[in-house]
Each structure stands twice: as structure tokens, then as C-alpha cells.
Amino acid sequence: MDGVAAVTVGGLLGNRVIYKQLRDGHRTGFEPVLLAASLKARAGEIVLEVGTGAGAALLCLGARVPEVRGIGVERDPALVTLANENFNINGLKNFSTVEGDAIALPFAAQSFDHVLANPPWFGADSTASPDARRDLAHRAAPELLAGWIAELTRVVKPKGCVNLILPAASFAQAAPALRAGKCGGITLLPLWPRAGVAAKIVIIMARKASRAEDSVLPGLVLHDANGLTREAQVILRDGGVLNQ
């Protein structure tokens, strides 16, 4: 680490995964766990996550899919170091994170079997966070999402999956960008905070060079009167998969 940033130690997937993250700045929620659970990856495949932060999504993927390989890209050098430390303490020898820019990835075309991302959610006109790391993780300049998707679709192999977790309102921008990247079979998975409440977050999945029809999956209700629903606990605590 840089000798300044303080770190907290917690767990993911019911504490099956040891997870260190920065005490200040962006704090990990359930989004990366759900994103990892949405990917159909197999042993021996190589998965890229862009904007990997401290590595939560790749850590969950590695815990669920033995012998998968994972590479993260992150702009913040402190988070690059922390993600690599997390991979090491969890025994994920085939995982690493490199410093890089999501809209100029340091990889050749068609390098990865699958790609994941949880891009910044808020527009540049939203209120800036006083914490520089939090602001970088949360706010996006206009057209940034399209730039991320263009790079993700460039580096994924034909028939490989592109999985994104986004605000529901971003679907209208994400879908044409995926089509521009020659992806088809665009699938929407809503994440409802409670039954009967509009989904604020969605997972969007597409496949490179696919001619499959687009679809909407049943989705997942996250909370009920008792807290997490049983279906959400299977994903967030037990390491289950989403709609596979």
C-alpha cells in the first residue's frame, strides 16, 4: 500500500473469502458479488474485469469456479496493490490486477473468454464527492459508458460474454453500444429491492457475435420483511449463481 490509506478487513460469500478494502473512498456493496454470480465461466477460461477496485467480483468468481483465470484493470494504483494482495491471501494464483484505463485497455483484440464491469453510475453533473477515490468510482463523464463497452467488446472473444451491472436507466445507452460492438442476445436481469418495487439496478448480459434473440429474465428480489430474501442469500452468502 501507499503508507497512508487505511484498510479494513472483512469477508465475502459468508466469509468464505477474505476481503480487504480501503477504509475511505468507495466501499464495496452487493453489486460485484451479483455481477460475478451472473457469469457463466468455466475452468481454464480467462475473465477480465474492468474497474476491478479491490477485486471483489473476481474474488467471488474465483471462489465459485475452480481453475478459472482472472485479470483486473484498475486506474487507482493503491487499489491495484490491494486487489493483488486480496488474490494472494485467498490463494488465487491465477488472478492479478494491472493499472490501466478502461477506455484504452492494454490488451489485444479478442484476448478474453469473458469480460465484466461495474462502470461509474452517476453523471458528471451529479454532486461531486469530497473523496477523490469515491468520486472517480461513482461519477462518469458523458459517453463514458459507451467507451467502456467499446473496449470490452473489442477484447472479448467471439461467443464470449459481456456482463455489466448498471442503473436501470442506463439500459437505453448500454444496449446500442453492445450492438455496435457486434454483441447479440442482449439479456436484462432486473434486481428488485423489494417485491412490487421498480428495479433501480439491472445486470445486462450479451454475447459477442451472437444472433440469439434478446430476453428479460425473471430477476431477483433482494429484500423482504425479514431482510435478505432466501434467494438473495443463496447468491450473496452461499456463492450461488444467477439465472443459470
| Domains identified in the chain and CATH numbers | 7-177 (3.40.50.150)
Nine-digit cell string for 160 = 464470449
Give the integer Cα–Cα distance in Å for 149 and 118: 11
Residue 66 makes CB contacts below 8 A (sequence gap 6+) with 43
In the prediction, which pLDDT does 243 show?
A: 78
Query: Is-contact 39 189, C-beta < 8 A?
Result: no
Q: Is 217 exposed, middle or buried (0-12, 13-18, 19+ CB in 10 A)?
A: middle
In the prediction, which pLDDT does 34 show?
A: 97
Residues of the chain with pLDDT under 70: 1-5, 121-142, 244
In the prediction, which pLDDT does 27 show?
A: 79
pTM across the whole model: 0.89
In the prediction, which pLDDT does 80 show?
A: 97
Nine-digit cell string for 47 = 475473465
